[in-house]
Amino acid sequence: MSDGIRSEGLFSRGMLAVIAAQFLSAFGDNALLFATLAVLKQQVYPDWSQPVLQMVFVATYILLAPFVGQVADSFAKGRVMMFSNALKLLGALVICFGFNPFIGYSLVGVGAAAYSPAKYGILGELTNGETLVKANGLMESSTIAAILLGSIAGGVLADWHLIAALLACVVAYGLAVAANVMIPKLAVARPGQPWHPGQMSASFFSACRTLWRDGETRFSLVGTSLFWGAGVTLRFLLVLWVPVALGITDNKTPTLLNAMVAIGIVFGAAAAAKLVTLKTVGRCMPAGVLIGVAVVFFSLQHAEVGAYLLLILIGVLGGFFVVPLNALLQMRGKASVGAGNAIAVQNLGENSAMLLMLALYTLAIKLGAPPVTTGVGFGALFALSMAVLWGWHLAQKKARTPDL
């Protein structure tokens, strides 16, 4: 069945069901984040608790990393996605009914941790190597459209009525579960794996070693980890930056600014699908350096128009940077440790980077660092990190190329 579906091409029924489910799930994720941040404001939590909310979410990825890749590879990935979205639905209901928002959001994190290896791993089962970058571009475009609409919906609805915002998240997750039912049941990628926690952990860390020893997958892991760590930090920086730099105190404006990044990533992902192949992944690196430079200029803005335009540019650069790295990891990971395990290893790296960057950001805010200064330092550090990674990749590539 797997081969038959793959031969249908990029817009097969299975692929369209995956994209629909991903859109609805990501819509719920982003609307729920801003709705839950509004809950924290309403309940008068301190400013530094906002990134802690995301740290709770990220911690679930790290704790479950040794197990979720094997889950994705040991069951039909569409069914794993369905179960994961059901957990997200439960977490949204916990918050909606007034229970502790950190507990509800951690349940959403558990669902998201299990969902990620399945949603990316299934791309390699529904498409072949020639269309995998395009499939990733389609997935990222769907995700970013969901970020755009979900972020706006979460902020606007939270300003209007907080329960309405939370109910919108519940509906989105429910529809995502329904879309998952439409995904054909593909063959299990790696059946017969052991389920003893010690053996699963050993298998996962063996996959980690395999991927980190490979120069190309190591390059992809470092690049995507830095990118998503920076992305989640920028999202929380915006919440505190907007009142200081623009003098606006509503819930809507930070969500609209986040949406600008989403719009940019759609165009950047489309450009990457046309201009970058698995053989020319290095072309994405200048965009990584420029992301940091653009963040510095953005942090110094005090005009809304300039802020919106710079965030669109940051999104374009981000989409162009991250899509080829994802495709590279999926292709090489599928051939070595399995696509699910490869994405789980990637999630460990990305979420470790997120946790570290959010912890540093939380510490800076708790110590009283101004949001503008924090943004400038953050952007400069990111640009430097990308420049070092680019130089390291060029040196590795030169070392692999024999002298003529």
Confidence of residue 169 (pLDDT cuts 50, 70, 90): very high
What percent of the chain stands above pLDDT 70?
90
Residue numbers of the domain that contains 356: 2-186+197-203+210-398
CB atoms near residue 195 (< 10 Å): 10
Q: Is residue 278 part of a domain?
A: yes
Q: Give how far Cα 6 sits from Cα of 3, 15, 29, 229, Å.
A: 5, 9, 29, 33
Residue 191 belongs to some domain of the structure: no
Residue 350 falls inside a structural domain: yes
Does residue 404 lie within any of the structural domains?
no
The first and second tokens of residue 375, run together, are 């943004």
Tell me whether residue 192 is in a domain: no
Q: How confident is the model at residue 149 (pLDDT cuts 50, 70, 90)?
A: confident
Please work out, in degrees rounded to the nearest 5, the angle formed at the alpha carbon of residue 229 by the alpha carbons of 268 and 318: 10
Give the pLDDT band of residue 2 (cuts 50, 70, 90): very low
Would you give the distance in Å from CA 297 to the centre of its chain? Answer: 24
Most confident of 74-83, 139-148, 376-385: 376-385
**What pLDDT digit, counting tens, does each position of 254-296 carry?**
888 888 887 888 788 888 878 877 677 777 888 889 999 999 9
Distance (Å, whole) CA 342 – CA 334: 7
In this predicted structure, the answer to whether residue 173 has a pLDDT above a threshold of 90 is yes
**Rounded mean pLDDT of 9-28?**
82
pTM for this entry: 0.72
- Give yes or no for residue 133 having a pLDDT over 90: no
Say how far apart CA 368 and CA 108 lie, in whole Å.
30
- Is 1 a residue whose pLDDT tops 60? no
Q: Please compute Rg for the chain using Cα positions.
A: 20
- For residue 180, being part of any structural domain is answered with yes
Which residue would you say has higher pLDDT here, 116 or 380? 380
Inform me whether the pLDDT recorded for 223 exceeds 80: yes
Give the model's confidence band at 98: pLDDT under 50 very low, under 70 low, under 90 confident, else very high.
confident
**What is the count of structural domains for the chain?**
1
Kindly report, residue by residue over 204-220, the tens digit of the pLDDT. Answer: 788 888 888 877 788 88
With 90 as the cut, is the pLDDT of residue 185 above it? no
Please give the pLDDT value at position 5: 40
CATH label of the domain that carries residue 366: 1.20.1250.20
In this structure, is residue 54 part of a structural domain?
A: yes
Rounded mean pLDDT, 371-381: 89
pLDDT recorded at residue 3: 42
When the pLDDT of each residue in the chain is averaged and rounded to a whole number, the result is: 82
DSSP for 94-106 reads HHHTTS-HHHHHH
Helix intervals (H) in 246-338 = 252-275, 285-299, 304-336
The pLDDT, as a whole number, for residue 191 is 63
The reported pLDDT for the residue numbered 303 is 87
Top pLDDT among 282 and 95 is at: 95
Whether residue 144 lies inside any domain: the answer is yes
Measured in degrees and rounded to the nearest 5, phi and psi for residue 169 equal -65, -40
CA distances from 224 to 80, 348, 355 (A): 24, 11, 14
